[in-house]
Amino acid sequence: MGGQGRSQGQTGMTIETISTNRSFGGVQGVYRHASRETGTDMVFSVYLPPQAESGAKLPVVWYLSGLTCTHANVTEKGEFRRACAELGLILVAPDTSPRGEGVPDDADGAYDFGLGAGFYVDATETPFAANYRMRSYIEQELPALIAEHFPADMARQGITGHSMGGHGALTIALRNPGRYRSVSAFAPISSPLNCPWGEKALGGYIGNDRAAWRAYDATALIADGARVAELLVDQGGADNFLAGQLKPELLEQACRDADIPLTLRMQPGYDHSYYFISTFMDDHLRWHAARLAG
């Protein structure tokens, strides 16, 4: 794909190319489509490494972003393209919530609920239920679109994410056993049932039944029997949200109880920003590539 334009696949799913830029021999693209799940236009980015020009199907790594972010944060600051070009990885970065006129937002304009804070859930509460269907969008609609329009080997998928997106990556992988060969996270919200961000988001989107929240909590999913083969998590030691919101020790205990191999790396001096993420992005992509090979 190059330049601006529209592309329609055999199933009728149409995407619009917003921009393409050459980078490390591959192509960084930004695309838009009309989502049936969210009822809005959704924007996402895809990096195609140079190996895509051969026509070969390539492994895919999904990157889910955190609070206040769009696809653009990791696309512009993640420093992933050199490694993806070397390793032959496609990287897909979706948005974090529906957007557009008429999409409900937090009444007070808070950053941790509403636009930019979809928490990768399918909302059931009014007025959010109509648009905030990020679980179905990430688990079903967007993968079908990627498979239709890009040279993606959907039998070789990995998933990662940051903060709220780390929560999304962990819970999506745990709910879909066998779909992702590799799972990692940067500073994930490990247990939304046990932190203010999670209580606000899940209560607002899902309602007051905390039992229903368990489908969106990695530690609860593991306690309830969900499994992945192994996990890699990096956490900054100087992260302001570490104790109050992220609580990696809860994930560590859940994995220990379930015999899930977890590599939890505490990184002294690193905070919650993309300075942290970009530092360890190469490590994560190489870890994914080793598990997506063949």
Set 149, 272, 284, 288: catalytic member: 272
Q: Residues 35, 65, 163, 190: which is the catalytic one?
A: 163
Domain containing 129: what range? 15-292
184 is catalytic: no
Q: Examine residue 4 and state whether it is found in any structural domain, yes or no.
A: no
Q: What is the 3-state secondary structure (H, E, C) of the chain?
A: CCCCEEEECCCCCEEEEEEEEEECCEEEEEEEEECCCCCCEEEEEEEECHHHHHCCCEEEEEEECCCCCCHHHHHHHCCCHHHHHHHCCEEEECCCCCCCCCCCCCCCCCCCCECCECCCCECCCCCCCCCCEHHHHHHHHHHHHHHHHCCEEEEEEEEEEECHHHHHHHHHHHHCCCCEEEEEEECCCCCHHHCHHHHHHHHHHHCCCHHHHHHHCHHHHHHCCCCCCCEEEEEECCCCCHHHHHCHHHHHHHHHHHCCCEEEEEECCCCCCHHHHHHHHHHHHHHHHHHHCC
C-beta contacts of 221-225 below 8 A and 24+ residues apart: 221/171, 221/174, 221/175, 222/174, 222/254, 222/255, 222/257, 222/258, 222/260, 223/254, 223/257, 223/258
Instruction: Count up the domains in the chain and report the number.
Output: 1
Q: What is the pLDDT of residue 1?
A: 40
What CATH number has the domain bearing residue 178?
3.40.50.1820
> Is 9 within the bounds of a domain?
no
The yes-or-no answer on residue 163 being catalytic is yes
In a domain, 191, yes or no: yes
The CA distance from 206 to 204, in Å, is 6
Q: Is residue 8 assigned to a domain?
A: no
Q: Tell me the pLDDT tens digit for each residue of 92-119.
A: 999 999 999 999 999 999 999 999 999 9
* Whole-structure pTM value: 0.96
pLDDT of residue 9: 62
Which stretches of the chain drop beneath a pLDDT of 70?
Answer: 1-4, 9-12
Annotated catalytic, 272? yes
Active-site option among 95, 122, 217, 239: 239
End-to-end CA distance of the chain: 26
Does a structural domain hold residue 216? yes
Residue 11 is predicted with a pLDDT of 62
Residue 251 lies in a domain: yes
C-alpha distances (whole Å) from 256 to each of 12, 207, 251, 267 are 46, 30, 8, 21
pLDDT at 2: 41
Q: Is 3 a member of any domain?
A: no
- Give domain status of residue 184, yes or no: yes
